[in-house]
Amino acid sequence: MEVNLMIKKFSVKNFKNFREEIVLDFSKIRDYEFNQSLIKNNLVNKMLIYGPNNSGKSNLGAAIMDITTHLTDNNGMNNILYAYYINGDYIDDDVEFKYEFLFDNKDITYAYKKDSQSKLLLEELYENDKLLFKYNYKNDKFDNNIEEAKTIDISKRTNKDMSVLKFIYNNTLYWNDDSSVKILMEFVNNMLWFRSLKTNEFMGVMANTENMNDFIINNRLLTEFEKFLKECGQNYDLCEIDEMGKKLIGVKYKNCKARFDVVESTGTKSLLLFFYWMNRTKNISFIYLDEFDAFYHYELSAYILKYMNKRTEFQSVLTSHNTYLITNELMRPDCYCLLNKGKITSFADSTSKTIRQAHNLEKMMLGGEFEK
């Protein structure tokens, strides 16, 4: 069964630089007749967020991915991303998270509170405003209306800090295919965060890192990787080379072969990382790609953005500083968002003007139209 769960709205409060509640709303769409493929199930499926330095673009990604740190074992880079977890001015207050999902005719809401990255205080799950489950870690109060898990005994948790919802999911023998719990857990287990840097920093999808060189060679993706690089304007003649019994990605020259990881540029390293994640899993549900074009020139940035926009099977959020990408040829005003001063607003909702396809969005942004 194909699962079409998507994030409808996300909010967080008192997390890192977000003292006041900040809301990312995927349901605020307009009736634009162009680039309609960026909308799915009446929600924004492809979003690009702009914001000045220190506005919180990376923190927003960490906040959205926080759900994976206690509902899955896919913890990745959480020690780095979640340093100084609580807003520094209000360290005695809780951090509050709320995820609203849409699945067919169901609204699924999962909310929780924490007082540190690893310490839950409250969890609650609703389906169409009906309480399915709620657990208060402070007084051990448990409300359970989950049909498949009526007999679950949460006192058997050996780790009292473990998410009760995760415990319920892992210790219930049978789940209906349309169960909100099952659908939610499958979505969260396939969320991914990474950024376009030289090292493979990621969260989600899997618990441990793996060698990207080995992945490409073992899965016989070398020809496909070479083709991808050529489409990106990177003309490498790739091959396999053997170095002390280990197979490596190599580059063929007229008179010799060289290790790819030695001769590749910084931008090409970033493309390797991107290619790896786009082929690493076929079941990605959500991607937050931070600083996606940090090492790309404009044409390459536009190509990668177009590539992501074609991958309609998952919901994605990208962040960038590149104003050249602000054009209706690539996206649409309700898919471009500005993050500034603790608020996220789409371009469409940031101006009183009626934006048409022919408008120059970059000129409007540089002129301050979306900051009014």
Instruction: Provide the residue-wise pLDDT of the chain in tens; the chain has 372 residues.
Output: 445 899 999 999 999 999 999 999 999 999 999 999 999 999 999 999 998 888 899 999 999 999 999 999 887 665 677 889 999 999 899 999 999 999 988 999 999 999 999 899 999 999 999 999 999 999 999 999 999 999 999 999 989 889 999 999 999 999 999 999 999 999 999 999 988 665 678 888 887 778 899 999 999 999 999 999 999 999 999 999 998 889 999 999 999 999 999 998 888 999 999 999 999 888 899 999 998 988 888 899 999 999 999 999 999 999 998 899 999 999 999 999 999 889 999 999 999 999 999 999 999 998 988 876
- Check residue 229 and give its pLDDT: 96
Angle of helix 266-280 relative to helix 298-310, nearest 10 degrees? 0
166 and 187 both lie in a single domain: yes
The total domain count for the chain is 2
Same domain, 315 and 285: yes
Q: How many residues does the chain have?
A: 372
Strand positions, DSSP E, the chain: 6-13, 22-25, 39-40, 43-44, 46-50, 95-103, 106-116, 119-127, 130-136, 141-144, 191-195, 202-204, 238-243, 246-252, 257-259, 286-290, 315-320, 336-340, 343-346
Distance CA 118, CA 49 (A): 28
Residue 274 lies in a domain: no
Torsions phi, psi for 150 (to 5 deg): -60, -35
The three-class DSSP label of residue 86 is strand
170 & 86 share domain: yes
Q: The domain that contains 85 carries what CATH number?
A: 3.40.50.300
* 320 within a domain of the structure (yes/no): yes
Rounded to whole angstroms, how far apart are CA atoms 341 and 370?
A: 13
pTM of the model: 0.94
Same domain, 297 and 359: yes
For residue 310, give both structure tokens.
């074609």
Q: Are 46 and 67 in the same domain? A: yes
**Measured distance CA(299)–CA(280) in Å, rounded:** 25
What type of residue is 11? S
DSSP alpha helix (H) spans, the chain = 57-65, 68-71, 78-81, 164-170, 180-189, 212-218, 222-231, 260-263, 266-280, 298-310, 361-366
Q: Do 42 and 98 sit in the same domain of this protein?
A: yes
Range of the domain at 239: 215-266
97, amino acid identity: F
Do 113 and 256 share a domain, yes or no?
Answer: no
Alpha carbons 303 and 330: distance in angstroms, whole number: 10
**What pLDDT is recorded for position 1?**
40
Are residues 151 and 115 located together in one domain of the fold? Answer: yes
Same domain, 135 and 261: no
Are 201 and 227 contained in the same domain?
Answer: no
- The radius of gyration of the chain's CA atoms, rounded to the nearest angstrom, is 22
Report whether 336 contacts 53 (CB < 8 A).
no
Contact 295, 314 (CB under 8 A): no
- Examine residue 1 and state whether it is found in any structural domain, yes or no: no
